[in-house]
Amino acid sequence: MFDGLLRHPSRVVLVLPVLVAAGLGACSSDADTAGPANSNKEDAAPALDDATSPDSGAACVSTRDFFARQVWPILSAKCTSCHAPGETASTGDNGAHPAAGFTLAWDSYPDFLDRNLAGLSRMVTEEIRGVPKLLVKPIGGDTHGGGALFGKDAPEYAVLKDLAARISNQVPDCPASGGSPLDAVPLLDWKSTFRKAAINLGGRLPKPEEASMADEAAFDKALTALMTEPTFFDRVKEMWNDALLTDGGDRVQTSVFQFDAVEFPFAKGGQMGRDAFCAGSADVPACIRDFDKRWSAIGRALLAEPLELIANVVRKNAPFTEVLSAPYGMANPYLAQLYGVESQFPAPSDTNVEQWQEVQIVRAKAGPFAHAGVLSTPSFLGRWVSTPTNRERARSRMTQKVFLATDILKLAQRSLDTSSLTGVANAPRNSPACTVCHSVLDPVANSFSNFSDSSSFDQDLKITAATNPHQEMLPPGLGVTMMPGAETKMLSWLGTAMGADTRFPLSVTRVAYQGIVGRPVLAYPSYGDAATFGDRFDAWNAQDHAVQGFASAFVAGKLDFKALVRAIVKSPFFRAASVPPTVPAALSAELGAGHLLTPEQLDRKIRAVTSAVYTPGGWGVGQPRPHRLLGDVRTLYGGIDSFSVTARATAASAVITSIAARTADEVACQVTAWDFTRPAAERTLFPAVELTTVPGAGDADIRKNIGLLLDRAWGGAHGPADPDVELVYGIFQGTHDELAKASPAPPFEYNCQGRWDRTKDQVYSCGTQGQPDYVAQCYTFDATLPAPAQIGEDKQFTIASWMAVLSFVFSDYQFLYE
């Protein structure tokens, strides 16, 4: 099924001299007034590299690289205008189009090189009077619809002839002979790699037993264990929400009104509203509280379901295709009520909301629901709703973007004049101007036709592929494969078909790569800047080979997502310690450290380093402790809200750095005095000093503590003579001296005093426990410490001095980046 991923040679990149052959394919700069009438002049193809056949005397390259460097520029300039999917000379993707020819995928398609090379291979093996079609059609032979594109004496023809010779084995291939620039990249040792992985994937620091990791086997063992920890699954959910964008809060249409109360009787209560629902209750306030809590929890569970399903598949080490084909949904005790499967769960409570399990929905009248993994979850359907004019196309677009690495919106980058289509009936299906997208878009869209053109969760299994309500669209299916007409569980069919598509592992790899490395996989370089195209192409090519390798490891690992994570984490893209100058600059920009932690990762790192959650203040009774960085500053710190902001920031802005500064100050305020309220052996930040340890007599202990603090927060080993220790000591000493000389002494900010346990909750008295006003008016805060344990003064000015130190440490590049 995935042979295509495994077959091509890897890591062949050569830096070759440039031959601008007689104007052919020359990379022209954007001349101001060139180009066809009434259109932007799109990029010309880049300059061709020197001839690189094995017998040319030049360095040897594989057929794939020869194709990428020399053939593709010709094809993209001369052939794709007619042979791209949906264009006039292509077969189209519905299989029903009568036109002859072959299809050339744009470079925005995943694995376009291999796909196109395979297509050309067929054009070589198929001959006309003993000559490969590849060498007949472009010169106008065999009634080529596009006529003669060039003559036999043209450089383009020579290149195609060379390719034909390679494909037909007249010229030996040179697979994988040159090595990859990635081979020369020095890597972090396994211990440092694991610290990075532990923070990135586990939200924690290495454990003592992991600190002495010496070899790959130990790393593998530790990574395996790390990938069973709860935070790892939180990370999995985060990286998949970055792609699916389903955790979008109230704007995702998953309200109770999306559920038919006949099929989901529990929804009827929610649809009544709390006042009507509780009107006859003996205890109306209690009923309202219960109502609000239940439906709020159900709403959160609905949003979480697709991500929990993905985490479930990963947790089971099941083939990741189950994400699309799973014959089940997911529910927790609250959501189980709405789905009518509460008998399989304990009674819902605050303590079991994270108790998720697979469920099969059985509707009251229509019977069993046909699940198709995440595709059939209310959250996915409610995030990407259908309308009478959209007709499931938003669902199709996201499905293919996330799981088939096919961005429909990238397919429509050429000129289109809809104002000229007024005479074309059903243009999306019949006009080449539209079919370029719709031939890809519509079969998948139509595969959602068991659901109506609305946001309702209303699967109708009486509809078949043949009787679908969108007869004006291409029939349900995937690409050129049509769904059997009698199929009723269309999404299940689609999910299975997508899982078998070679693009699926590549697509999953892209999502995982971006989630772990923090940058998207490179797109095929545009030709815009001729001077840098070679460098950018080399970078893309090296990374493309690597990504194909990750996907191959994923496939070889039986599509276990953890195998994919392991391959990426062990690659230079995660482990590069430095990058030699021989590596293309565009590739160096993708390697090594420099990943700005996401707000979620920074939040977890703060907790790991300080042992306290960074909390904004009071929160509701019975609610989980809020995380400051996941609240209103999440998007300010470069995070996403899954609706308005859907792409993460990858570099610090003034605002991000300012938020980091505020975070550092507030965390320092929250944890400094508190840490000193604990016995030295229990402290996480100040185990080597006391409040009475001051500059001068206490220098050694202060420096020792600074070293331990930097080890913990920044990683590495910091001895007393380390320049960073000296730098931090200067902050401590300078601040201490300043405060000691101040008259009067500056006040000790109340909220920074050591009066509270930052890890324990306490509901403060502002109502009567058991009465309605208790929940309605009370808030939870950090628990107050017993009076003798409290620190309300800073007589030695050491707390303020350590606060300044922490503010510096927590706002440092080494803390904010990994």
Partner 1 sequence: MSHLSRRRLLQAGGLGVLSLALPWTRGARAGGAYAGPLVMTVHAGGGWDPTLFCDAKAPTADIQQRLYTTPTQVGAISAAPIDLLDYQTGVKLDNVPAFFAALGSRFLILNGVDTQTNNHDTGTKHVWSGKTSEELPSLAALAAAQGAASYPLPLAYMSTGGYEATANVVQLTHVPGQSTAKQFLLPHTVNPDEVVANQRSYFSADTLARISAAQAARLDAVAKKAGSKREADAVAAFNGSHQRMAALGALAQQLPAKPVTAAVAFPALGSGYRSGELDGYLQSAELALHAFKSGLAVSASLGLGGFDTHMTHDRNHTRQLGMLCLTLRYLLTAADALGVADRLYVVVGSDFGRTPTYNVDNGKDHWNVTSMMLAGPGIRGGRVLGATDDKLRPLRVSKDDPSQVKGYDDATATRILPAHVQRALRKKVGIDAALAAPFGLPVDMPLDDMLA
**What does the alpha-carbon distance between residue 296 and residue 10 come to, in Å, rounded to a whole number?**
51
700 binds partner 1 (CB under 8 A): no
On whether the CB atoms of residues 472 and 525 are closer than 8 A, the answer is: no
Q: Which of 1, 585, 680, 789 is the binder for partner 1 (CB under 8 A)?
A: 585
172, 249, 367, 730: which one binds partner 1 (CB under 8 A): 730
- Round to whole Å and give the CA distance between 685 and 694: 16
**Residue 765 binds partner 1, judged by CB under 8 A:** no
Minimum CB distance to partner 1 smaller for 351 or for 422: 422
Q: How far is the CB of 112 from partner 1 (least distance, A)?
A: 15
Q: Minimum CB separation from partner 1 for residue 235, in Å? A: 21
Query: Which CB sits closer to partner 1, 229 or 812?
Result: 812
Question: Could you say whether residue 153 binds partner 1 (CB under 8 A)?
Answer: no
Phi, psi of 173 (to 5 degrees): -80, 165
Q: How far apart are CA 586 and CA 535, in angstroms?
A: 6
Of 358, 343, 254, nearest to 308 (Cα)?
358
Least Å distance, CB 60 to partner 1, is: 29
Residues 96/76, Cβ–Cβ less than 8 Å: no
Which of 333, 373, 592, 715 is the binder for partner 1 (CB under 8 A)? 592
| Smallest separation (angstroms) from partner 1 to the CB of 420 | 8
Q: Say whether residue 735 binds partner 1 (CB under 8 A).
A: yes
Q: Is 653 in the site for partner 1 (CB under 8 A)?
A: yes
Minimal distance, residue 187 CB to partner 1, in Å: 11
2-10, 258-266, 267-275, 664-672 -> range binding partner 1 (CB under 8 A): 664-672
Q: Which is nearer to partner 1, 23 or 388 (CB)?
A: 388
Residue 784, CA distances (Å) to 36, 676, 759, 788 in order: 75, 15, 11, 11
Interaction of residue 525 with partner 1, rule CB under 8 A: no
Which residue, 42 or 290, has its beta carbon nearer to partner 1? Answer: 42
Tokens 């101001």 identify what position? 32
> Which residue's structure tokens are 């209103």?
632
Identify the residue among 4, 9, 432, 528 touching partner 1 (CB under 8 A): 528
Question: At closest approach, how far in Å is the CB of 389 from partner 1?
Answer: 4
- Minimum CB separation from partner 1 for residue 585, in Å? 6
Question: Which residues touch 373 (CB under 8 Å, ≥6 apart)?
Answer: 309, 322, 323, 324, 325, 326, 495
Name residue 12's beta-bridge partners.
179
Residue 518 contacts by C-beta under 8 Å, 6 or more apart in sequence?
595, 596, 598, 648, 650
Closest to 635 measured CA to CA, from 623, 620, 653, 619: 653
Q: Identify residues 597-636 at the interface with partner 1 (CB under 8 A).
A: 632-633, 635-636
699 binds partner 1 (CB under 8 A): no
> Nearest distance from residue 706's CB to partner 1, in Å?
12
Which of 56, 224, 296, 387: binder of partner 1 (CB under 8 A)?
Answer: 387
Q: Which one among 591, 597, 613, 702 touches partner 1, defined by CB under 8 A? A: 591
In the complex, what is the shortest distance from the CB of residue 722 to partner 1, in angstroms, rounded to a whole number? 11
* Cβ atoms 559, 314 nearer than 8 A: no
Contact between 652 and partner 1 (CB under 8 A)? Answer: yes
Binding part of the chain for partner 1, among 90-98, 164-172, 367-375, 663-671 by CB under 8 A, reads 663-671
Site for partner 1 in 394-413 (CB under 8 A): 409, 412-413
What minimum distance in Å lies between the beta carbon of 466 and partner 1?
Answer: 23
User: Which of these, 638, 398, 401, lies nearest to 518 by C-alpha position?
Assistant: 638
Q: Which is nearer to partner 1, 173 or 665 (CB)?
A: 665
Residue 669 interacting with partner 1 (CB under 8 A): yes
Residue located via tokens 């229509």: 366
Nearer to partner 1, 553 or 809 (CB): 809
Residues 6+ apart with CB under 8 A from 282: none
| Rounded least distance, CB 804 to partner 1, Å | 5
Contacts of partner 1 in 259-278 (CB under 8 A): none
Q: Are 443 and 93 in contact (CB under 8 A)?
A: yes
Subset of residues 491 to 510 that bind partner 1, contact rule: CB under 8 A: none
Measured from the CB of residue 782, what is the shortest distance to partner 1 in angstroms?
A: 17
Q: What is the dihedral of CA 391, 393, 396, 398, to 10 degrees?
A: -130
CA distance readout (Å), 169 to 125, 163, 330, 342, 611: 11, 10, 52, 64, 63
CA distance 205 to 190: 14
Upstream peptide bond of 744 is cis (omega within 30 degrees of 0): yes
Q: Note the residue count of the chain.
A: 818
- The reply to whether 547 sits near partner 1 by the rule CB under 8 A is no
Site for partner 1 in 303-342 (CB under 8 A): none
Of 219, 233, 240, 808, the residue at the interface with partner 1 (CB under 8 A) is 808
Which of 224, 426, 430, 578 is in the footprint of partner 1 by CB under 8 A? Answer: 578
User: Binding partner 1 by CB under 8 A: which of 143, 170, 343, 422?
Assistant: 422
Beta bridge partners of 48: 19
The amino acid occupying position 780 is T
Closest distance of CB 76 from partner 1, Å: 11
Task: Enumerate helices (H) and strands (E) in the chain, giving the number of each.
Answer: 32, 13
Q: Which is nearer to partner 1, 59 or 636 (CB)?
A: 636
CB 334 within 8 A of CB 308: no
Asked whether 665 and 807 are in contact (CB, 8 A), the reply is: yes
Q: Shortest Cβ distance from residue 42 to partner 1 (Å)? A: 5
* CA–CA distance, 174 with 60 (Å, rounded to integer): 6
- Is 281 among the residues that bind partner 1 (CB under 8 A)? no
Residue 587 CB, nearest approach to partner 1 (Å)? 8
Nearer CB in complex with partner 1: 419/765? 419
| 664 residue type, one letter | A
As a whole number of angstroms, the distance between CA 439 and CA 428 comes to 8
- Total interface residues for partner 1 by CB under 8 A: 94
How many Å apart are CA 716 and CA 712, to the nearest integer?
8
**Per CB under 8 A, does 734 bind partner 1?**
yes
Contact range with partner 1 by CB under 8 A, out of 18-26, 77-85, 382-390, 678-686: 382-390
Q: Compute the least distance from the CB of residue 50 to partner 1, in Å.
A: 26
Nearer to partner 1 (CB atom), residue 635 or residue 796: 635
Residue in 645, 740, 745, 783 binding partner 1, rule: CB under 8 A: 645
**Is 429 an interacting residue with respect to partner 1 (CB under 8 A)?**
no
**529 lies in the binding site for partner 1 (CB under 8 A):** yes
Q: Please identify, among the stretches 58-66, 161-169, 247-255, 666-674, the one whose residues bind partner 1 according to the rule CB under 8 A.
A: 666-674
Residues between 181 and 210 that touch partner 1 (CB under 8 A):
none
SS3 of 31-45: the string is CCCCCCCCCCCCCCC
CA distance 29 to 270: 62
Contact window for partner 1 (CB under 8 A) among 127-135, 367-375, 486-494, 650-658: 650-658
Of 333, 361, 330, the residue nearest 346 (C-alpha): 333
Q: Report CA-CA distances (Å) from 743 to 163, 738, 739, 746, 750.
A: 84, 10, 8, 8, 19
Per-position x/- string for 19-48, each x denoting binding to partner 1 as judged by CB under 8 A, each - no binding: ----------xxxxxxxxxxxxxxx-----
**426 contacts partner 1 (rule: CB under 8 A):** no
Instruction: Say how far apart CA 572 and CA 587 lie, in whole Å.
Output: 11
749 near partner 1, judged by CB under 8 A: yes
